[in-house]
Amino acid sequence: MTTRINPSILAADFVNLEAELARIASADLVHVDVMDNHFVPNLTFGPQMVGRIQDVSPIPLDVHLMISDVDRWGPGYAELGAASVTFHVEASDDPVALARRLRSIGALAGIALKPGTEADAYLDVLDEFDQVLIMTVEPGFGGQSFMHDTMPKLRRVSEAVRAAGLDVRLQVDGGISLDTIGIAAEAGADTFVAGSAVFGADVPADRIAALRDLAAA
Ligand code: DX5
Ligand code: ZN
70 pLDDT exceeds 90?
Answer: yes
Please give the class, per CATH, of domain 4-216: alpha beta
What is the C-alpha separation between 193 and 174, in angstroms, rounded? 7
> Which ligand is nearest the CA of 139, by number?
1
What is the C-alpha separation between 172 and 98, in angstroms, rounded? 21
Q: How many CB atoms lie under 10 A from the CB of residue 41?
A: 11
pLDDT at position 1 is 87
Complex ipTM: 0.99
Q: Which of 33, 62, 130, 190 is catalytic?
A: 33
- 90-136 pLDDT per residue, tens: 999 999 999 999 999 999 999 999 999 999 999 999 999 999 999 99
59 pLDDT exceeds 90?
Answer: yes
Q: Which atom of ligand 1 is nearest to the CA of 42?
A: 6
User: Does residue 12 line the site of ligand 1, with CB under 6 A?
Assistant: no
Distance from Cα 133 to the centre of ligand 2, integer Å: 9
- 132-177 pLDDT per residue, tens: 999 999 999 999 999 999 999 999 999 999 999 999 999 999 999 9
Calculate the average pLDDT of the chain.
Answer: 98
Distance from Cα 64 to the centre of ligand 2, integer Å: 5
65 in Cβ contact with 86 (< 8 Å): yes
| Structural element, H or E, at residue 91 | none
> Which ligand is nearest the CA of 141, by number?
1
217 pLDDT exceeds 90?
Answer: no
**Is position 173 annotated as part of the catalytic site?**
yes
pLDDT at position 199 is 98
Question: Distances in Å between the alpha carbon of 35 and those of 2, 91, 183?
Answer: 29, 12, 27
What is the C-alpha separation between 206 and 211, in angstroms, rounded? 9
| Binding annotation for substrate | 8, 64, 140-143, 173-175, 195-196
Q: Which of 36, 62, 130, 173 is catalytic?
A: 173
Q: Where are the domains of the chain?
A: 4-216
Can you state the percent helix, strand and coil of the chain, rounding each to 5?
Answer: 45, 20, 35
pLDDT at position 122 is 97
User: Does residue 139 line the site of ligand 1, with CB under 6 A?
Assistant: yes
Distance from Cα 77 to the centre of ligand 2, integer Å: 15
Q: Which amino acid is at 70?
A: V
65 in Cβ contact with 87 (< 8 Å): yes
- 4-42 pLDDT per residue, tens: 999 999 999 999 999 999 999 999 999 999 999 999 999
- 192-214 pLDDT per residue, tens: 999 999 999 999 999 999 999 99
**Is position 33 annotated as part of the catalytic site?**
yes
